[in-house]
Amino acid sequence: MMDTPNLNRKTTSRRVTMEDVGRLAGVSQVTVSRALSDPDKVSPKTLKKITDAIDATGFVPNAIAGALASKKSKLISALVPSITNIVYSAAVASFSSVMREHGYQVLLSETGFDPKDEEAMILTHLSRRPDAVLLTGIHHTAKARQMLLASDIPVVEIWDTTETPIDICVGFSHDRAAVKAAEYAFENGFTCAATLSAGDERALRRRAAFESRFAELAGAAVENAVHCERASLANGRDGLRALQAQSMEKGTFVFCSSDVLAHGMLIEASAQGLKVPTDIAIMGFGDQEFAAHTEPALTTVRVDRTTLGRSAAMALLSRFDSAEPIASVNDIGFEIVARHSA
C-alpha cells in the first residue's frame, strides 16, 4: 500500500549551515561554532539564541567540513580479519565503546586474512584521514607499513606482541600460549599429541610452537596434524576424521587452534562414541562462552578480549594527549583453563 512515506524528499532545500543558524540567531557563523565547541566562551544570552536557532532549524553540524578545517577527523579506522568472528568483534566492541566515550567513531572493515587485501584497505582508510589506525596482527606488507609510517598517525596492532611494532602493540605471545598448552599436555601424562589448525597466520604459529615444545618434552615429533581454511564446527568434525585417517593413536592430545574447532571435534567424538578425554583429549583456544558448557567442558586458553580492546583504546588515548613515549608493547597475557576435555 505504498503510502509514500518519503514526502519531503526531492525538495531542493540546501542543508542548514552554521551560517543559517547564525543569521537566525543574529550572530555570525564563528559564534555558532564557538557555542558548539566551547559554550563558555559565549554569553548566556547569545548561547540561548543560538541553541533555539539550532532547534528551530534542525541544524546538524557538518563533521566533514569540521574535519577539513581542523585536520582532526575524530575517526579511528579499524581493520580486522572478520567481524563475524566473536573473537575479533568482542575486542572491537570494547575498543569502540571506550573510543566513543572520548568522542571518536570507529570505521571498521574486514580484511580477510590476506595482507595484500589489508594493504589495499589501509589506503582506502587513510584517505579518510583517521586520527589513528587499529590493525590486527603484526604481519603487514612493506608498503602497508610505509604508508602507515608516512601517515604520521598513531597505529595500534592488536592480538599479538612484538619488539618492533609499527607504533604500539597490545596482545599476548602466541608462542608462549602454545608452549604452555604443550606443557599442560605433557604434565598431564600425554605422550602423543596432534594438532588441528585454521589457516590464519597466528593459528599456524601457535600450532608450530605447540608441536615443537611438545616434541621437545615427549622426545618424539608430533606426527598428526591437520589444518583447515577457517574455524567452523563442520571443519572441527572433519578434522577429527582427517586425523583418524592418519592413524592417530588412542589417547592422543589434540590441540585445536580455536574453541569452535575443538567443539566440532568434541561433537564428532561423541557421535563416534569416543570417550573424552580418555580415548581422545581435546583442547581449544579462546575460551568462548560455550566452552564451559560443552560435554565434557572444554579445556582451553583464555584470552580476555574485552581487556584487549580496552587496552588498545587506552594506549591510543594516552598517545593522543601526550606525544611523550608510552608503553609501546603491551602484553595482556593469557591463562590456561583446565576443564574436563583434556
Partner DNA sequence: CTGTTAGCGCGTTCAT
Partner DNA sequence: ATGAACGCGCTAACAG
Answer for which of 54, 108, 179, 282 binds its own copies (CB under 8 A) is 108
Burial class (CB in 10 A: 0-12, 13-18, 19+), 9: exposed
**Binding to its own copies (CB under 8 A): which residues in 294-333?**
295, 323, 325, 328
Antiparallel, parallel or unpaired: β 335-337 and 300-302: antiparallel
**Between 39 and 199, whose beta carbon lies closer to DNA?**
39
Interatomic CA distance for residues 291 and 262, integer angstroms: 9
Q: Is 165 in contact with 157 (CB distance < 8 Å)?
A: yes
User: In angstroms, what is the minimal distance from the CB of 203 to its own copies?
Assistant: 19
Which residues neighbour 64 within 8 Å (Cβ) at sequence distance 6 or greater? none
Q: Are 249 and 222 in contact (CB under 8 A)?
A: no
The option from its own copies, DNA, none interacting with 312 (CB < 5 to 8 A, set by class) reads none
Residue 167 touches which member of DNA, its own copies, none, C-beta under 5-8 Å by kind: its own copies
Minimum CB distance to DNA smaller for 66 or for 251:
66
292 is a site residue for DNA (CB under 7 A): no
Q: Shortest approach of its own copies to residue 146 CB, angstroms?
A: 8
How many CB atoms are located within 10 Å of the residue 138 CB? Answer: 18
What type of residue is 209?
A
Q: Which does 149 bind (CB under 5 to 8 A by kind): DNA, its own copies, none?
A: its own copies
* Sequence-ordered alpha helix ranges (H) in 171-330: 174-187, 201-218, 233-245, 259-271, 305-320
Instruction: Give the full edge-to-edge strand order of the sheet including 280-283.
Output: 224-228, 193-198, 252-256, 280-283
Residues 171-230 contacting its own copies, CB under 8 A: none
- Reported as type and span, the H/E element at residue 147 is helix 142-151
Determine the Cα–Cα distance for residues 133 and 107; give it in Å rounded to an integer.
9
**DSSP code for 289:** G
Site string for DNA, 67-96 (x = CB under 7 A): -xxxxx------------------------
Output the furthest CA–CA distance in the chain (Å, rounded).
Answer: 85
Q: Residue 28 binds which one of DNA, its own copies, none, with CB within 5 to 8 A depending on kind?
A: DNA
Candidate segments 19-27, 91-99, 191-199, 310-318, binder of its own copies by CB under 8 A = 91-99
In the block, residue with C-alpha cell 608452549: 179
Measured from the CB of residue 27, what is the shortest distance to DNA in angstroms? 4
Interface pick for its own copies out of 24, 32, 47, 90 (rule CB under 8 A): 90
Each residue 2-41 as x (binds its own copies by CB under 8 A) or -, in order, gives xx-xxxxxxx-x-x--------------------------
Q: Parallel, antiparallel, or unpaired: how do β-strands 329-331 and 335-337 relate? A: unpaired
Residue type, 261: L
Among 52, 55, 56, 65, binds DNA (CB under 7 A): 65
Residue 40 beta carbon to DNA: minimum distance, rounded to whole angstroms: 7
- Output the nine-digit C-alpha cell for 20: 543559517
Min dist. Cβ of residue 122 to DNA (A): 17
* Subset of residues 30 to 59 that bind DNA, contact rule: CB under 7 A: 30-31, 33-34, 36-37, 40-43, 45-47, 59
Which residues form the interface with DNA (CB under 7 A)?
14-15, 17-19, 22, 26-31, 33-34, 36-37, 40-43, 45-47, 59, 61-62, 65-66, 68-72
